[in-house]
Structure 1
Amino acid sequence: MSKFGLGSDPETAAAVTVLTRAVQLDSECRYQQALVCYQEGIDLLLQVLKGTKDDTKKCNLRKKISGYMDRAENIKKYLDQEKEDGKYHKQIKIEENATGFSYESLFKNTLMKTVTEVWIEDPYIRLTHQLPCKVKTIHLLTSLDEGCGKQQQISGLGEIKESLENHGVLLDLEYSSSLHDREIRFNNGWMIKIGRGLDYFKKPQGRFSLGYCDFDLRPCHETTVDIFHNKHTKKI
């Protein structure tokens, strides 16, 4: 017990055992269990403090208790935020011909620096203005156009894949004949469901029309966007 500088009496030994376990659980990111152990260990140290008359030992105890309390409070805030994120649900209604809803505008609050992977499931990734965005790894699951646009779809996605590879981004492309769901998931826990999938933009009127390059200026089809948080993965 000397490493704690608190003595070796049974009460202190019990507190040290519990707090050692708390630190171990904390290092393993098992925050809920760690918080319980921190709280129990702090209570035990407070009992030791009440019965301590030695001023030096009292000072050491107060420092240890303060440090553990600060860590426990940080964990509690994290767990509370995790619960709030898990309940998060925002719905955006895009009206017919509305503008200002580019991919960047919709995703800017979920595409944080922690995001390195994105999973896109959309059966109708076929037109060039739908082809997806920039991240380190993209997993794209879509259906194959069995009509006259099949070759254009394969060619367009192949070109995107090659271009992304040249910039160090992997496009993992798969086709499914039974895909119906439309959702986008990021590896920071956020998930976005768009009623029309990524095909909510109208075709531009021409190559020189406003909105051809700037998607914020491109009119949209009417649809609904739901933003959820599934699981908070950011470590503290």
Structure 2
Amino acid sequence: MEDPAVSVLKRAVELDLASRFQESLVCYQEGIDLLLRVLKATNDEKKKAHYRDKITDYMNRAEAIKKYLEKEKEEGKYHKEIKIEENMKGFSYEKLFQEYLNETVTEVWVEDPYVRHVHQLYNFLRFCEMLVKGPCKVKTIHLLTSHDEGNGKGQQMSILEEIQQSLRDFSVTLDVSYSSSIHDREIRFNNGWIFKIGRGLDYFKKPQGRFCLGYCDFDLRPCHETTVDIFHVKHTKKT
């Protein structure tokens, strides 16, 4: 158990020195947990004292990084990059967005050219459900997407109208616009948080069946490889 702890904490220090603080904090926390297990399993009092000193040092550094990141977040200088690897699980919309949703969020902008096909429209619906459940007080959702090509255009518009009507029951307005030239994927909250996801909302793999785990709970569904960039600006774009 000691070797894995040393390895993880060594990586934490390397990331710390490289100013990759978000990643280093995760490694510090994991390494401290491993080192606490080593301490618990050790009978040698001299070693115990050594481990306690090390744990205290690492905990102090982890706490300092945590405070620094919180300050950066408050000042709008915070940037977080999440790399979702192929087939990884545990990245539902709640996992990505919930931390940045609070009562000040009343307006949301979604720019995604691929809210066209049925499974993509279901993704957007689940995103809307997350917003409606709170703790934010969303009143308006703006969707900018592109028309489905061919015969799917009518179905796309019909489904979005159905979502629009359903949101009205929760006193939320859905404003839908279409663009033939949209390429970028971006989600913005009016509290200043911006999310750029390489694959937009459509980063989940198709479930193996309707009664397979992950069909309803997106935390259990495998993902496609993508990168999520989260950052903050002082003023969001108003439409």
TM-score range with shorter-chain normalisation?
A: 0.5 to 0.7
Alignment pair present for 1:155 and 2:154: no
Alignment deviations for residues 10-55 of structure 1 (CA, whole Å, 9 cap, x no partner)? xxxxxxxxxxxxxxxxxxxxxxxxxxxxxxxxxxxxxxxxxxxxxx
Task: Please report how far the alpha carbon of residue 172 of structure 1 lies from its aligned counterpart in structure 2 after TM superposition.
Answer: 0.6
Q: TM-score, normalised by structure 1?
A: 0.61
Aligned-partner residue type, residue 177 of structure 1: S
**Maintained 8 Å contact 2:197/2:229:** yes
Task: Please report how far the alpha carbon of residue 129 of structure 1 lies from its aligned counterpart in structure 2 after TM superposition.
Answer: 2.8
Which of 134, 141, 155 lines up with 2:144 in the alignment? 141
Alignment pair present for 1:218 and 2:209: no
- Which whole-Å CA distance do the structure 2 matches of 1:101 and 1:83 have between them? 21
Alignment pair present for 1:164 and 2:167: yes
**Maintained 8 Å contact 2:72/2:78:** no
**Maintained 8 Å contact 1:86/1:232:** no
In structure 2, relative to structure 1, the CA distance for the partners of 1:222 and 1:164 (3 Å cut) is same
Which of 126, 129, 144 lines up with 2:122 in the alignment? 129
The answer for the alignment partner of 1:90 in structure 2 is 80
Aligned-partner residue type, residue 214 of structure 1: D
In structure 2, relative to structure 1, the CA distance for the partners of 1:82 and 1:95 (3 Å cut) is closer
The answer for the alignment partner of 2:204 in structure 1 is 201
Task: Please report how far the alpha carbon of residue 81 of structure 1 lies from its aligned counterpart in structure 2 after TM superposition.
Answer: 4.9
Structure 1 segments of 4 or more deviating over 6 A?
none
In structure 2, relative to structure 1, the CA distance for the partners of 1:101 and 1:182 (3 Å cut) is same
**Maintained 8 Å contact 1:211/1:217:** yes
Aligned-partner residue type, residue 103 of structure 2: K
Aligned residues: 154
Task: Could you tell me which runs of 5 or more consecutive residues in structure 2 were left unpaired when the two chains were aligned.
Answer: 1-69, 132-137
- Which whole-Å CA distance do the structure 1 matches of 2:171 and 2:197 have between them? 28
Aligned-partner residue type, residue 115 of structure 2: I
Task: Please report how far the alpha carbon of residue 82 of structure 1 lies from its aligned counterpart in structure 2 after TM superposition.
Answer: 7.4
State percent identity of aligned pairs. Answer: 73
Task: Please report how far the alpha carbon of residue 178 of structure 1 lies from its aligned counterpart in structure 2 after TM superposition.
Answer: 0.7
Aligned-partner residue type, residue 153 of structure 1: Q
The answer for the alignment partner of 2:191 in structure 1 is 188
Alignment deviations for residues 213-235 of structure 1 (CA, whole Å, 9 cap, x no partner)? 111111110000000001179xx
Task: Could you tell me which runs of 5 or more consecutive residues in structure 1 were left unpaired when the two chains were aligned.
Answer: 1-79
Which of 170, 182, 185 lines up with 1:179 in the alignment? 182
In structure 2, relative to structure 1, the CA distance for the partners of 1:223 and 1:136 (3 Å cut) is same
Task: Please report how far the alpha carbon of residue 151 of structure 1 lies from its aligned counterpart in structure 2 after TM superposition.
Answer: 2.4
Please tell me whether Structure 1 or Structure 2 has the larger radius of gyration of its CA atoms.
Answer: 1
Q: TM-score, normalised by structure 2?
A: 0.60
In structure 2, relative to structure 1, the CA distance for the partners of 1:188 and 1:84 (3 Å cut) is closer
Task: Please report how far the alpha carbon of residue 152 of structure 1 lies from its aligned counterpart in structure 2 after TM superposition.
Answer: 2.4
The answer for the alignment partner of 1:112 in structure 2 is 102
Task: Please report how far the alpha carbon of residue 147 of structure 1 lies from its aligned counterpart in structure 2 after TM superposition.
Answer: 2.7
- Which whole-Å CA distance do the structure 1 matches of 2:182 and 2:109 have between them? 14
Task: Please report how far the alpha carbon of residue 155 of structure 1 lies from its aligned counterpart in structure 2 after TM superposition.
Answer: 1.8
Task: Please report how far the alpha carbon of residue 99 of structure 1 lies from its aligned counterpart in structure 2 after TM superposition.
Answer: 0.7
- Which whole-Å CA distance do the structure 1 matches of 2:73 and 2:97 have between them? 21
- Which whole-Å CA distance do the structure 1 matches of 2:96 and 2:226 have between them? 13
Alignment deviations for residues 63-108 of structure 1 (CA, whole Å, 9 cap, x no partner)? xxxxxxxxxxxxxxxxx95786322100000011111000111001
Alignment deviations for residues 145-175 of structure 1 (CA, whole Å, 9 cap, x no partner)? 1133222211221111110011111001100
